[in-house]
Structure 1
Amino acid sequence: MQTHPGIAYQFGPFEVNVASAELLKNGRRIRLQEQPYRLLVALLESPGEVISREELRSRLWPDDTFVDFDGSLRVAVGKLREALDDSADDPRYIETIPKRGYRFLVTEVRRVEAAPEVAEPAAAKPEAAKLGEDARRDYLGPLKTGARATRWWLVAGAAILMIGIGLAVGTRMFFPHKVHALTDKDTIVLADFANTTGDPVFDGTLRQGLSVQLEQSPFLSIIPDEKIQQTLGLMGQHVDAKLIPAIAREVCQRTTSAAVLDGSIAKIGTQYLLTLKAVNCKSGETLASTEAEASDENHVLNALGKVSVEIRNKLGESLNTIQKFDTPLEEATTPSLEALKAFSSGMQAVRTKGPEAAAPFFKHAVELDPNFAVAYAYLGVQATTSLEPGLSVNYRTKAYELRDRASEAEKYWITATYHKGVTGNIPKAIEACDLWIQDYPRSELPHVYLGAAILPVVGQYERAFEESSEGVRLRPDFALAYAFRIRAYTALNRFDEAKATYAQALERKLHTPYIDLEMYNLAFAQNDAAGMAQHATKLAALTRLGHTMLSTEGDTAAYSGHLKDARELTRRAMDSAQRGGEKDAPALYSGTSALREAWFGNTEEARRRATLAMKLSSGRDLQYFAALAFAYTKDNARAKALADDLNKKFPEDTIVQFNYLPSVRGKLALNKGDASGATASLAAAAPSELGATRASDLDWTAMFPVFVRGEAYLAARRGSEAAAEFQKILDHRGLVLNQPIGALAHLGLGRAYVLQGDTVKAKAAYQDFLTLWKDADQDIPVLQQAKAEYRKLQ
């Protein structure tokens, strides 16, 4: 088939209108980014036929485009499948042909003429130029102006240069007679402002303010401070060395950037003069320069905003994107120089000393300006890393309420973190990140946040790997992106690829404690005791992750039935966290150990630990652990009360509604002897049963609904269904890791085979469990039950 601007393709409930570049489902527009859309059109042109990877490469990316083709194609296919509600495991529309390409399975694709009012080029309509912003957003989604203009002019047939950057495609319009100093592939280095005023309030503050202003630009790409610190180390400089022009220019050359931005502020009488110039880091040639005056100190931030806008234009950014992405600095941050100074000091502390050291500066910033949205957002992140979920919720909520006082990029970030950490509405968090990616295709942050914190909650580990990989591609020096790609690979049981990612990080001399945490989990999944010990030793010496590692080691001990050791390690973890002044971490450790005791059959100990946990704190995840522990100890009233409270507090929370509550309600139904009611309750969890929340930096909730469902099938004497559930847990070793259900699934599988009358398989499953627990504490009730059941099979 040949495409034509006036045609549309129809299949099932979907329609693809080529003229308007739209995907519709039952008449409703489905958001679809550029590359997945072009992929869909390519497949629709030849339904039922295999489209080779080489042909797709030529269709989706121009010959001169530099892109990780394999990774980007996988991402495009994944996003297209998501838009079509399709699955790689059970495809209805898109079939992967290994090592060859892809095929569109629906052979009866209807090719029809598009409606005239849609098929007509938009640029030919006078009213198109007057189309309101809301209507354009409905049509195209909230893309950056350049991207909206691109699609508008594609319809009209105008000449546009498309630049592919991974999955999200950035665009800008080049005017024929204007020569630009930079392109949208260049990067720049921000030098420190030379301050000759003698007033220290400007030190670091103006550079921070300029950074906020320029990071609004989808065109410019600033070298991150972490990369600058790494480069300074290679230069033999201190990591927080002042970026005077000579040092900044060398950093620029070493990072293969195009230019340095040098700024200065001087006081002339009562006025201030700000100057800013872009210098070619190789030749030293001035590419652009601008200046602005401020009548007094209170107007310096306004002058800084003016020079940032002018330099963006002079460096080649279109007026369209400047006008859209130009929140005034006083609105994007704060009108208070002192508050911005405190915030700048906090960001410096994050880079050099860690989040805990930054908290006092951010708190001082919001004391000076109670409407400083981004400072609240950073406090919310800091509270999360210090295991204070209640405090994190308060800060994130405040940031969200004030999100209009932030730049466009920061609004997306604040919105995503709010829905992830407060409402728990994961689809809304994903939407915020997808829009962030559309507007800022050169930013690695939305990809990394998706892969690290959002997609795992709903068990989308394939896409989590793709997004983390895109983060690595966009910023190869970002250690956290490697950590989360290792995590995604491990969850997918792709252990060799996880190791290869670790090797890449080592080769680049990148490190973060989270890499060690993920490598500990990978070593556990591969029964690598030496590797576990190596990474545990590195983490044990750290302030917060030290007690996290103690708790993790406790889980590992319990996995093999060493319950006394596990209790001691948990006690030490709680003591360590309490000595550090933390409230929520000890509660989480008590809550997870309560559930462990309940599964092992120690009813009274489980109730004691769950009760203690609820006295220490009352966070969402902790409340779930306690509720499930009470349900397993048949303290039905307390379990139901906690579950009802969760339902009331978190009505739109994805993991609460589709993972936590089905598990608790399913177990409560089992306690009443209602196996069919239990399976009915657990049906809601099926789409996200692989989801995991990072309570205490552990994926402690992954597959709990599967375990309870397996027990429900056992109670209903449906052996084959029960076996399938427990086998599912065993097949996801890289996801379940050292959770107790990973060990107990062997026992559940043996019991399921007994119901089927398959003695041989039942014996093998029991032997697997008893071998794993060969050195276990002998007084554990579940072990005694397992031995008694196994003896009956002899």
Structure 2
Amino acid sequence: MTRSTAPLSSREIYLFDIFEVSVRLRTLRQDGERRKIQELPFQMLLILLEQPGKIVTKDELGRRLWGSDALIEVDDSLYVVAGKLREALGDRAVNPRFFKNIQGRGYQFIGDVTSSFEPYAIGNAVVEGSDNAGDVLGASSDVPSLSRARRFAFWSGLTFVGLIVFCAAMYKYVNRSLVSDQDRVVVGSFINSTGNPDLDGTLSSAVQLKLQESPYLSLVSDQKFRAKLKAVKQMTFEAELQTCSSLDAQVLLKGRILPKTQGYQISLSAWRCGTGGLLTTQEADATTQASILSAVDLATERMRRRLGEPEASLQKFNVPLMQATTASLAALKAFTLGEETRFDPNGGAIASYRLAIDLDPQFALAYARLGTAYYNTSHYALGMQYNKKAFDLRGRATDRERLYIITHYYEFATGETLLAIEDYERWRTIYPRDAVPLNNLANIYLTMGQPEKALPFALRVIQLDPTNEALYGNLAFAYLGLGEYAKVDGLCKDPVHTLRAPIYFRRVCFRAAAAEDDDAGMQRILESVRGNPQENLVVDDYAWVAMSRGQVAKARELFFHARQNAIEQGALDYSTSIQLDKVSIEADFGYLAYAAADLKVITTLETEDPAEQASAARAAAKTGNLVRAEYLAKAANARAPLNTIVNAALLAAARSEIHAQKRQYAAAIQSLEQTRPYDFCVAMDLSPGYYRGLAYIQAKKFEQAAAEFQRVIEHRAQADFPIYVILSELELAHTQELLGNRKAAEKGFQALKHLWENADSGFLPLSKLHAYENLHKTTSLVGSSSR
């Protein structure tokens, strides 16, 4: 091994084998041709070349490559960087020619290396070795022989420049982006050709997560692709291509792991969906099973580069898989199984995610998925527990999945809606092609009762993923909340959206039909959900419509059938929610004995949902059971102390009713003031303004009461069903009478009598209307006699 005696600081060129490394130009050349190499592998090469033959420790390499304060797994990151350096040098980890890994210590350059000053200069600098300052390209001279030399140099230089331009053009062509930034990509199957069953169904989710990490690529949902592929009942390459095309995607990525004499090879191929033409194949080798995930890192990085992702993006968004997911292939396999059933409403993925975290207790994303699965099956305490664990481990995730963990923690675990919105905004800024934050922002704003803010996000997400039927529900709901019924009808009657429409979309269509008194439309939707596992949700909606029309007996029958259907489907959480709907309406319509009896069923079940506990607390207070009401209110607050909607809306309404029952009307009004920013949120269904109006009547503040009732009526489009709009119309007419506005009062009474012309006899709100009318007539007679 030859060493130069020149000081390290003056060495400009390192030479080894057929390679030349320029420190000043930061280039690597092989046989005179420049090799492509990233910055970190190049820096690692320079560090090793400074001390050939000596072991450079991992600590020194980590400090010089990333700094002493970097929060990374140095071993794993060095492994990835070393792999990229081997790729650039054509070296191998087994029987290396240039550098090797000294297990547990560091890395050592083992090739023969020499170093010297840079032999050529750039621009108009003097060529090394010249004694004449005039011997500079382009300088004038009167010596004929030198003129011929200059002419020769000029033409040689021109030819050389032309060759460089040609080579650069060829390099640019060979390394051109294979797709446009508008092309959509589907991640297909990952085939295990090793014969090792432990690797079956293990790596597909790893590839998906690595590609999702890219802000550049536009990926089609893997769940959507699998569902569509399952529907065609084929798993062939041709079926994947056809499914890719049917989803309006342009590129299909498929993976394979193959055995090698020593280790494995990871292969990723990109295909044109429309033609089946192969675009590119990118490969990476793993010497052992433990290094398979690092090979997946390399292969996906190369694929991302060939698909056109800029180098700056690759440098920034490229967390090693072992840091972002797990180093355990067994845990990754369990996680992948969970991903395949992630959206199963019965929680089919829970066992797989639990196994993943049992195998690797540091698997952050598995905790997050498990928390969401528990939340979706109404196990709220467990959902909060696992989302909290994921949040604590959020550093062990890619940038995108870290945002997933943070937003789901705030939205579902703590219920801090405003913080969730802030981080969803950050997510969509970093990943503008990602449909998830856009759809979730639309959903949150709809939940908050702000359809005007939801609409732009609902429209944008459909532009990104127009074939995803699940996204049209939010668009229809936004139009409904804005009172644009014609646009809702256009969506609901479009056969493209009604063939396999999700239940959420159909419920929006049902509510639009109810708002327009379209009984035939409501019946069509009821028929369309017959036999659906979530049929009970639409039947529950129909019960609300019946109650608003005064058809109490029919409504109670519908509530009963909805509950029974939910129980038969094993959806006990829906059963509780339906019972609570019935209790709340009965209490506000004045059927207090019925409400008290039905409430016992709910409180016996001790629901985990803090929102349901808060709603039950108000119903209990309305029926006069203040002890139970205060117990439920405290339980809801203890379970969700930071939840925006639970505390600022639902519990505020419950406490207001507790104060009203104690005839503390000023306190009741004050409690409801904090709900004002959330008056239109879905959970309240416009009830806060109605409750506030009632409190003002009790406090003899009739003008304020009238203003509250009028505000509810003006926002009728934002009510799922007009229960509290109709009750506000009744109380507004009453308030107008109390204010002496008899014509306005009479007009309100007549409109309600028309609405309730088919109401059951003894319908209590209608009885109250008649009582108000009698008061109106009595007041009129007294007024006449006094004149």
TM-score w.r.t. length of structure 1: 0.71
**2: CA distance between counterparts of 1:639 and 1:231?**
48
Percent pairwise identity? 28
**1: CA distance between counterparts of 2:586 and 2:480?**
27
- If you compute each CA radius of gyration, which structure gives the higher value, 1 or 2? 2
Deviation track 1:247-279 (CA, whole Å, cap 9, x = no partner) reads 444555565645333322111245211122334
**Is the 2:342–2:373 Cα contact (8 Å) retained in structure 1?**
no
Superposed displacement of residue 780, structure 1: 4.3
How does 1:434-513 map onto structure 2 within 5 Å? Answer: 434-452=425-443, 454-503=444-493, 506=496, 511-513=501-503
Which residue identity does 1:463 align to in structure 2?
A: K
3-state secondary structure, aligned to 1:416? helix
Q: How many residues align?
A: 609
**Is the 1:718–1:755 Cα contact (8 Å) retained in structure 2?**
no
Superposed displacement of residue 228, structure 1: 3.9
**2: CA distance between counterparts of 1:745 and 1:374?**
47
Q: Counterpart in 1 of 2:720?
A: 737
**1: CA distance between counterparts of 2:346 and 2:571?**
15
**2: CA distance between counterparts of 1:285 and 1:572?**
55
Superposed displacement of residue 610, structure 1: 2.4
Aligned in 2, Cα 1:575/1:254: closer, same or farther, shift over 3 Å? Answer: closer
Deviation track 1:264-301 (CA, whole Å, cap 9, x = no partner) reads 21112452111223345567665443322223333322
**1: CA distance between counterparts of 2:524 and 2:248?**
36
Superposed displacement of residue 393, structure 1: 3.0
Which of residues 545, 555, 566 in structure 2 aligns to 1:566?
555
**Is the 2:379–2:608 Cα contact (8 Å) retained in structure 1?**
no
Aligned in 2, Cα 1:618/1:192: closer, same or farther, shift over 3 Å? Answer: closer
**Is the 1:482–1:505 Cα contact (8 Å) retained in structure 2?**
no
Superposed displacement of residue 208, structure 1: 2.3
Q: Counterpart in 2 of 1:397?
A: 388
**1: CA distance between counterparts of 2:323 and 2:500?**
35
Aligned in 2, Cα 1:176/1:198: closer, same or farther, shift over 3 Å? Answer: closer
Which residue identity does 2:663 align to in structure 1?
A: G
3-state secondary structure, aligned to 2:341? helix
Q: Counterpart in 1 of 2:232?
A: 239
Q: Counterpart in 1 of 2:313?
A: 321
Which residue identity does 1:189 align to in structure 2?
A: V
Which residue identity does 1:393 align to in structure 2?
A: M
Aligned in 2, Cα 1:331/1:550: closer, same or farther, shift over 3 Å? Answer: farther
Q: Counterpart in 2 of 1:757?
A: 740
Which residue identity does 2:753 align to in structure 1?
A: L
Superposed displacement of residue 460, structure 1: 1.8
Deviation track 1:126-156 (CA, whole Å, cap 9, x = no partner) reads xxxx9x999xxxxxxxxxxxxxxxxxxxxxx
Say what the alpha-carbon RMSD is for the aligned residues.
3.0
Aligned in 2, Cα 1:250/1:569: closer, same or farther, shift over 3 Å? Answer: closer
**Is the 1:192–1:243 Cα contact (8 Å) retained in structure 2?**
no
Superposed displacement of residue 756, structure 1: 1.5
**2: CA distance between counterparts of 1:399 and 1:719?**
51
Aligned in 2, Cα 1:498/1:380: closer, same or farther, shift over 3 Å? Answer: farther
Select between 472-481 and 500-509 the one with higher mean Cα deviation: 500-509
**2: CA distance between counterparts of 1:504 and 1:413?**
33
**1: CA distance between counterparts of 2:245 and 2:573?**
46
Aligned in 2, Cα 1:243/1:444: closer, same or farther, shift over 3 Å? Answer: farther
1:264 maps to 2:261: no
1:704 maps to 2:693: no
Aligned in 2, Cα 1:259/1:604: closer, same or farther, shift over 3 Å? Answer: closer
Select between 661-670 and 210-219 the one with higher mean Cα deviation: 661-670
Which of residues 169, 190, 195 in structure 1 aligns to 2:192?
195
**1: CA distance between counterparts of 2:214 and 2:314?**
7
Deviation track 1:357-400 (CA, whole Å, cap 9, x = no partner) reads 44444444444444433334334434444444444333433333
**1: CA distance between counterparts of 2:521 and 2:734?**
34
Q: Counterpart in 2 of 1:619?
A: 609
**1: CA distance between counterparts of 2:233 and 2:397?**
27
Aligned in 2, Cα 1:346/1:467: closer, same or farther, shift over 3 Å? Answer: same
Q: Counterpart in 1 of 2:705?
A: 722
Q: Counterpart in 2 of 1:374?
A: 365
**2: CA distance between counterparts of 1:336 and 1:383?**
24
3-state secondary structure, aligned to 1:308? helix
Gaps of 5+ in 1: 1-129, 135-174, 694-700
Deviation track 1:5-46 (CA, whole Å, cap 9, x = no partner) reads xxxxxxxxxxxxxxxxxxxxxxxxxxxxxxxxxxxxxxxxxx
**Is the 2:181–2:216 Cα contact (8 Å) retained in structure 1?**
yes
**Is the 2:187–2:253 Cα contact (8 Å) retained in structure 1?**
yes
Q: Counterpart in 1 of 2:758?
A: 775
Which residue identity does 2:434 align to in structure 1?
A: S
Q: Counterpart in 2 of 1:414?
A: 405
Select between 364-373 and 203-212 the one with higher mean Cα deviation: 364-373
Deviation track 1:657-686 (CA, whole Å, cap 9, x = no partner) reads 321233223223333334333322222222
Q: Counterpart in 1 of 2:214?
A: 217
How does 1:25-64 map onto structure 2 within 5 Å? Answer: none
Superposed displacement of residue 219, structure 1: 0.8
TM-score w.r.t. length of structure 2: 0.71
Which residue identity does 2:285 align to in structure 1?
A: E
Which residue identity does 1:375 align to in structure 2?
A: A
How does 1:85-164 map onto structure 2 within 5 Å? Answer: none
**2: CA distance between counterparts of 1:330 and 1:243?**
31
Which of residues 204, 207, 211 in structure 1 aligns to 2:204?
207
Superposed displacement of residue 714, structure 1: 1.6
**2: CA distance between counterparts of 1:574 and 1:249?**
44
**2: CA distance between counterparts of 1:297 and 1:133?**
28
**1: CA distance between counterparts of 2:728 and 2:697?**
12
Which of residues 327, 333, 336 in structure 2 aligns to 1:341?
333
**Is the 2:345–2:376 Cα contact (8 Å) retained in structure 1?**
no
Select between 220-229 and 268-277 the one with higher mean Cα deviation: 220-229
3-state secondary structure, aligned to 2:283? strand
Superposed displacement of residue 692, structure 1: 1.9
Greater RCO between the two (CA within 8 Å, min separation 6)? 1
1:537 maps to 2:527: yes
**2: CA distance between counterparts of 1:588 and 1:562?**
21
Select between 295-304 and 591-600 the one with higher mean Cα deviation: 295-304
3-state secondary structure, aligned to 2:681? coil
Q: Counterpart in 2 of 1:332?
A: 324
**Is the 1:562–1:777 Cα contact (8 Å) retained in structure 2?**
yes
**2: CA distance between counterparts of 1:676 and 1:505?**
53
Q: Counterpart in 2 of 1:62?
A: none
**1: CA distance between counterparts of 2:375 and 2:711?**
31
**Is the 1:540–1:550 Cα contact (8 Å) retained in structure 2?**
no
**2: CA distance between counterparts of 1:772 and 1:133?**
69
**2: CA distance between counterparts of 1:415 and 1:643?**
28
Deviation track 1:56-105 (CA, whole Å, cap 9, x = no partner) reads xxxxxxxxxxxxxxxxxxxxxxxxxxxxxxxxxxxxxxxxxxxxxxxxxx
Which residue identity does 1:762 align to in structure 2?
A: A
Which of residues 181, 184, 188 in structure 2 aligns to 1:184?
181
Aligned in 2, Cα 1:734/1:185: closer, same or farther, shift over 3 Å? Answer: same
Deviation track 1:590-629 (CA, whole Å, cap 9, x = no partner) reads 2222222211222233223223212212421111111111
Select between 488-497 and 764-773 the one with higher mean Cα deviation: 764-773
Which of residues 671, 681, 684 in structure 2 aligns to 1:681?
671
Select between 223-232 and 439-448 the one with higher mean Cα deviation: 223-232
3-state secondary structure, aligned to 2:218? coil
Which residue identity does 1:557 align to in structure 2?
A: A
**1: CA distance between counterparts of 2:274 and 2:756?**
64
Aligned in 2, Cα 1:508/1:473: closer, same or farther, shift over 3 Å? Answer: farther
Select between 770-779 and 523-532 the one with higher mean Cα deviation: 770-779
Q: Counterpart in 1 of 2:47?
A: none
